[in-house]
Chains A and B, each alone.
Chain A
Amino acid sequence: MSDVKNKLATKNENTWCPGCTNFLILESAKRAIAKLIEEGSKQEDFAMATGIGCHAKMFDYLNISGIYGLHGRVIPTCLGMKLGNPNLKVLGFAGDGDTYAEGMAHFIHVARYNPDMTLIVHDNQNFSLTTGQATPTSQVGYKNKAKPLGEFNTPFNPIKLALASGTSFIARCDSKDMMHMAEILEKAMKHKGFSFVEIIQDCAIFNKGNKGKDELMYKISDNSDSDVARKLAEEWNYNNEGGKIPLGVLYQEEKPTLEDKWPQLTELKEKKVSWKNK
């Protein structure tokens, strides 16, 4: 394992803050990818897109192909990679600002297209890289430099939205639990269709008011019942009001993927070629 995993590292200097849990997300992603490589995938077959933000520095620390894209556009960039070569294993690393603010439309529509790709949202409930402004998942009352009066709006619940949009794989992880993340990321990448992994990634510097969730978290076994999924989604409302935070595969279902629906892409997949070599 460690040899394969070492090849996934880069020599770039890491600029995350000391104590940032993005380090653990990086490590778990490497482990999950290494696992797939050991099982027969090629390192060259992986491609990623990242947004802009602290999360996006994954790009410089992970040695796979990719585009360090635009803020908010992780999903369309990944979607394009799948359109361009359906044989690629595509990963998107995005922030909560990225996904739920700037790029919200894509989050809903990609569930309909259901491309065989994985979206990982590093949800730290604030815009960290731009120094802590509120995002759509920040709790009410969160005071920051842009909103000294505090956030007025209730956070929205990405798990509920993902369910309502028809996302075919929905999971939630805690960024402090590296082994669990690695396990879930592997499942997400092995899922046939669009998989969404929401990682609660508390920032060491900003939005310290959203801490204290550890005792609320508990792990569930993989779920594929939609009624159960809806109840699980309701257990926590992202608003510092207690409740329980279920972690694990909250919902999974098999349905036709983008690649299944388009004959052109099905053909490329069957022949195991890209457009370039069609």
Chain B
Amino acid sequence: MRLNILIGGKAGQGINKVSEIVSQVLIRQGYFTFNYRDYPSLVRGGHNFNILALSEERVGSFESKLDGMVALDEKTIELHEKDLKKEGFVIRFDQFEGMGRNLNIALAGALIKILGIDKQVLIDEIKKQFDNDETIAAAEKGFESAESKFDLKKLDNNVVMMTGSQAVAQGAINSDIDLYLAYPMTPATGVMHELASKQLDNNLMVFQPENEITVVNAALGASFAGAKAMVGTSGGGYDLMTEGLSLQGISEIPLVVYLATRPGPGTGIPTYSSQTELDVALYGGHGEFPRVVIAPGDPIECIEKTNEAFHLAEKFGCLSIVLSDKHLAESEFSSDRKPNKNLVVKVKRKVPGEAIVKTSSYEHDELGNTTESGEIAVVNAEGRLAKYDKIKEECKKFEMFKIYGDKDSKNLVISWGSNKTVILDAIAGEDVKFLHILYLKPLSDEVQKEMEKADNIILVEQNVTGQLGRLLREKTGIKIEKKILKFDGRPFTSDKLREELLKLK
């Protein structure tokens, strides 16, 4: 069974609380959930909605048709009624006049009843989050007012729920991060908030300076001084940082960058999602220097890949970019998979305080002295190239891509990043193999072999030019003709994507 429930209202009415309570209850009942958050760039008013998908099996997306709707205002009904299935249910705000700020709690209570879950499970969850009788009473009132429509029995899956932001923060903590620097920018800000709230317990520090230029230069200064440093940003902030990335390239000071994207150019559509920044992640910053670009596809991979990014940055003195997007950063994913074994990240190099260490934005000799020598320029450029080969060798220890679906199928879907979970939902049971590329740079040589084995390749991306497609053509010579590209800032729905994929099969 799989249900898609929309929860909508104005910003500030507490729709996230509804999905949080309901998801937590469902998780405790052993269900898988996926919660998509759709909100415009404003703080109060407007129209926000979440779509909560739930299933007995793994789920990582929602469908275009709704099984139910929880409306905190009339506009939610006006806007989304067209998507409601014929037998779909609606829980309306005006059923609970006079509830005030507990309206959302009452609606959550009603939804739990409709799903056929025990009242006690609901009350336990409410008590965990709020310690006041008024809120509990609101939840009870909501629960009592509705009729059960489903019968969600307890399952014994062991599921955890996480956003990509929480997972990237966890990966950083697992890598024993010392310093996180960022300037607020959606959708990267979640990691800053998460780490800031945990900084004292985890002996790390989160610093928000005056702009992204300071973020990156201070991170390099701190890393040089011996701290494990990471910065976070989105497209515009990343652009401001690129001179610093280039400084990383020549100075070889370890640096981890978290780049969470939203539709550009310019300010674009700031609170929506896109995969438009693969090009700049691969190439941003002048000069030729090695880097790693890794794009996890779900929160568990965010934990693993952030840890690998720290490992590689520290081991090779390189730039590691963890590429995410709003969809992965802010949606709530459930999982029953445990992350791979964590790599211990240690600073082994000599740092100031212990020795005299010099590095430079100029071409320099091994002691850090400036040089304009042509011979040294050649040695250094070749050295940077050779370093990239070593990085590539090291990356082979990790999952650089994963294959899903029917492993013998000649129909190959290729994609990256947050499309992973919706593609998994869309291809379930079909004659399709799915290649999910985690390391965009370095790219595994296996990718070409997989492409050569296929008769029919379909590219899925959230941008207008097919950035991964271009990269693959550059690296393999194979041009992918069939593409499913979406660039309205909204994620794929699994049913629509399935239709499109089957058309191209």
Could you list which residues of chain A lie within 8 angstroms of chain B, going by C-beta atoms?
A: 10, 12, 43-47, 49, 52, 57, 59-60, 63-70, 73, 75-85, 87-88, 105-106, 108-109, 113, 262-265, 274-278
Q: With A67-B221, A81-B221 given, can you name 13 additional A-B contacts, CB distance below 8 Å?
A: A47-B224, A59-B360, A67-B358, A67-B360, A73-B213, A76-B218, A80-B223, A81-B224, A84-B222, A88-B353, A106-B214, A275-B228, A275-B347
Q: Is B359 an interface residue (CB 8 A)?
A: yes
Give A57 to B352 CA distance when docked, in angstroms.
20
25 of the cross-chain contacts (CB-CB < 8 Å) are: A44-B354, A60-B369, A66-B358, A67-B359, A67-B360, A69-B217, A69-B361, A70-B243, A70-B244, A77-B218, A78-B221, A80-B217, A80-B219, A80-B221, A83-B181, A83-B205, A83-B207, A84-B222, A85-B351, A85-B352, A105-B211, A106-B210, A109-B209, A263-B200, A275-B347
Determine which residue in A108, A109, A263, A274 has the highest number of CB atoms from chain B within 10 A of its CB, and name it.
Answer: A274
Q: Is B229 an interface residue (CB 8 A)?
A: yes
Contacting pair B364 A276 (CB below 8 A) = no
Smallest CB–CB gap between B346 and chain A, Å? 9
Contacting pair B205 A47 (CB below 8 A) = no
Residue interface mask B354-396, A partner, CB < 8 A = 1 = 1111111110100011100000000000000000000000000
Give A278 to B355 CA distance when docked, in angstroms.
18
| Known pairs A87-B353, A105-B211, A263-B200; A47 contacts B225 (CB<8 A) | yes
Give A264 to B370 CA distance when docked, in angstroms.
35
Give A274 to B222 CA distance when docked, in angstroms.
10
- The 7 tightest CB contacts between A and B, nearest first, are A80-B221, A84-B225, A84-B222, A80-B218, A276-B226, A68-B360, A65-B352
B179-215 at interface with A (beta carbon < 8 Å): 179, 181, 199-200, 203-205, 207, 209-211, 213-214
Smallest CB–CB gap between B367 and chain A, Å? 9
Give A81 to B358 CA distance when docked, in angstroms.
13
Contacts of B228 in A (CB 8 A): 275
Q: Which chain B residue shows the least CB distance to A85?
A: B225
- Determine which of B181, B200, B220, B226 lies in contact with A274 in the assembled complex, contact meaning CB atoms within 8 Å: B226
Contacts of B211 in A (CB 8 A): 105
Contacts of A82 in B (CB 8 A): 221, 225
Contacts of B210 in A (CB 8 A): 105-106, 108-109
Contacts of B213 in A (CB 8 A): 73, 76, 105-106
Residue interface mask B231-251, A partner, CB < 8 A = 1 = 000000000000110010001
Could you list which residues of chain B lie within 8 angstroms of chain A, going by C-beta atoms?
A: 178-179, 181, 199-200, 203-205, 207, 209-211, 213-214, 217-229, 243-244, 247, 251, 253, 347, 351-362, 364, 368-370
Smallest CB–CB gap between A277 and chain B, Å? 8
Contacting pair B221 A264 (CB below 8 A) = no
Smallest CB–CB gap between B152 and chain A, Å? 45
Q: Which chain A residue shows the least CB distance to B217?
A: A76
Q: Which chain B residue shows the least CB distance to A64?
A: B356
| Known pairs A83-B205, A84-B223; A274 contacts B218 (CB<8 A) | no
Contacting pair B224 A80 (CB below 8 A) = yes
Determine which residue in B200, B224, B251 has the highest number of CB atoms from chain A within 10 A of its CB, and name it.
Answer: B224
Smallest CB–CB gap between B405 and chain A, Å? 44
| Known pairs A52-B361, A69-B361, A85-B227; A79 contacts B356 (CB<8 A) | no
Contacts of B347 in A (CB 8 A): 275-276
Determine which residue in A52, A57, A63, A275 has the highest number of CB atoms from chain B within 10 A of its CB, and name it.
Answer: A275
Contacts of B218 in A (CB 8 A): 76-77, 79-80, 83
Give A18 to B223 CA distance when docked, in angstroms.
37
| Known pairs A70-B244, A80-B224; A45 contacts B353 (CB<8 A) | yes
In the complex, number of A-B residue pairs with CB atoms less than 8 Å apart = 164
Give A222 to B167 CA distance when docked, in angstroms.
53
| Known pairs A76-B213, A106-B214, A274-B226; A83 contacts B200 (CB<8 A) | no
Contacts of B253 in A (CB 8 A): 67
Smallest CB–CB gap between B201 and chain A, Å? 12
| Known pairs A44-B354, A80-B219, A275-B178; A67 contacts B205 (CB<8 A) | no
| Known pairs A76-B217, A85-B353; A65 contacts B358 (CB<8 A) | yes
Smallest CB–CB gap between B136 and chain A, Å? 37
Contacts of A262 in B (CB 8 A): 205
Give A129 to B505 CA distance when docked, in angstroms.
62
- Determine which of B203, B226, B251, B358 lies in contact with A264 in the assembled complex, contact meaning CB atoms within 8 Å: B203
| Known pairs A83-B205, A109-B209; A68 contacts B214 (CB<8 A) | no
Determine which residue in B347, B353, B357, B364 has the highest number of CB atoms from chain A within 10 A of its CB, and name it.
Answer: B353
Smallest CB–CB gap between B407 and chain A, Å? 45
Smallest CB–CB gap between A265 and chain B, Å? 7
Contacts of B200 in A (CB 8 A): 263-264
Contacting pair A68 B229 (CB below 8 A) = no
Smallest CB–CB gap between B439 and chain A, Å? 28
Give A43 to B354 CA distance when docked, in angstroms.
10
Contacting pair A84 B217 (CB below 8 A) = no
Contacting pair B221 A12 (CB below 8 A) = no
Give A275 to B205 CA distance when docked, in angstroms.
10
Contacting pair B227 A84 (CB below 8 A) = yes
- Determine which of B217, B223, B369 lies in contact with A12 in the assembled complex, contact meaning CB atoms within 8 Å: B369
Contacts of B357 in A (CB 8 A): 65
Contacting pair B370 A59 (CB below 8 A) = yes
Contacts of B368 in A (CB 8 A): 66, 68
Give A87 to B354 CA distance when docked, in angstroms.
12
Contacts of A49 in B (CB 8 A): 221
Contacts of A81 in B (CB 8 A): 221-222, 224-225, 352
Give A277 to B207 CA distance when docked, in angstroms.
20
Contacting pair B225 A274 (CB below 8 A) = yes
- Determine which of A73, A88, A113 lies in contact with B225 in the assembled complex, contact meaning CB atoms within 8 Å: A88
Contacts of A106 in B (CB 8 A): 210, 213-214
Q: Which chain B residue shows the least CB distance to A57?
A: B370
| Known pairs A84-B227, A263-B200; A44 contacts B352 (CB<8 A) | yes
Contacting pair B352 A88 (CB below 8 A) = yes
